Amino acid sequence: MRSRTVAVLAALALTTAPAACAAERTPAPAEDTPAPDRSATAVLRQTPDEIARTAGSLRLVDGTLPLYEMTYHGGYDAEAPLTDAELARKADGWACSLFHRPGEFGRNFDWDPNPAMIVHARPPGAHASLSLVDVSYLLDAPGPPDLDDPGDRRRLAHAVLAPFDGVNDQGLAVGLAQAPDARLPGRTPGRVTVSGVRIIRLLLDRAATVPEAIALMRRYDLDFTGGPQLHYLIADRSGRSAVVEYAGGRLNVIDDRILTNITMTGTDRATRMADPRYRKLAEGGQADALELLRRVAQRHTRWSVVYDLDAGTARLVAGQRWEHVHTIRRS
């Protein structure tokens, strides 16, 4: 679905260019009301000590994917473009299954056999969070990163800006899945445009509840350039959850606790239950959350994670090694 350079910029970049792969789009706003230009700004804001602490925290957790872990130290501009030049700055067909039930948020990430990373973040003035990232989009060559290479280590630091799912210290969890036929709204004059993964970083940093997260999403234009169209499951500690999906050129909020890869907008429960993975999750009863994810796993399930919304911790299985569960605690 991607070439290396296009994928890096498409999956991670904050861009003001129209999406080439999206359905019909309303023309860009007039030039007299441009969105802020942050293209020349360094995205990561770290002191030399914070760079060293971030690099020093990198470790291999599980060789199956492989899976890495990192604690990010420092600040960042969550609205700045992430370009290939920024990734190289010196130190000086997805198919996923997600569900929410009281206290737990579970998800299978089903995609190519790429390296993954657990990211701990405590950004200044924002919520602390735990998230998971497919780091292949950050690297300039196929295969696992070389943790002894300064260039790879610096690129991996940018994983903090590209969560595919996660939970914050307020008990807000969010994850994405491919949507079959999304159509984004037209651009809003003066509004910042962010990628499909960067919006998750903004939600983890700034929202504590589902209503806050939805309100925040309404303040940004999204761009799915170069990657699949997406929809999102959001849940919070109070027990509330919602699917956010773009259809008909508008943001739609659907009251549901399960998300797979079917269109949710305008569908009834019978239609949703016709999807085998949706039905298995809906009928899962009191089964252990990881067992539910095992039931809906596919041959290309890369990671399965259950976030504890009260504790802010997670249980993680890499590469369907169900007997080997990683417990991830707050950093």
Q: Which parts of the chain sit beneath pLDDT 50?
A: 1-34, 39, 93
Six token digits for residue 142:
């196929």
Q: Tell me what pLDDT residue 24 has.
A: 27
**pLDDT for residue 1:** 35
The string over 106-131, giving b where at least 16 C-beta atoms fall within 10 Å of a residue's C-beta and e elsewhere, is bbbbbbeebbbbbbbbbbeebbbbbb
Whole-angstrom distance, CA of residue 261 vs CA of residue 27: 28
Radius of gyration of the chain (CA): 19
pTM: 0.84
DSSP H or E stretch at residue 10? helix 4-12
**210-217 helix and 198-206 helix, angle to the nearest 10 degrees:** 130
Phi, psi of 190 (to 5 degrees): 80, -5
- Residues 194 and 33: beta-carbon distance below 8 Å: no
Q: C-alpha distances in angstroms, 169 versus 120, 145, 173, 179?
A: 11, 29, 10, 28
Task: Give the pair of three-digit tokens for residue 15.
Answer: 């861009």
Q: Are 301 and 320 in contact (CB under 8 A)?
A: yes
**What does the alpha-carbon distance between residue 144 and residue 138 come to, in Å, rounded to a whole number?**
11
Q: Give the DSSP letter string of 25-88.
A: -PPPPPTTSPPP--TTS-SEE--HHHHHHHHHH-EEEETTTTEEEEEE-SEE-TTS---HHHHT
Q: Which domains does the chain have, with CATH numbers?
A: 4-17+40-328 (3.60.60.10)
Distance CA 17, CA 28 (A): 8
- So what's the pLDDT on residue 91? 58
pLDDT in tens, 74-120: 999 999 888 888 888 765 545 699 999 999 999 999 988 899 999 99
User: DSSP letter at 274?
Assistant: T
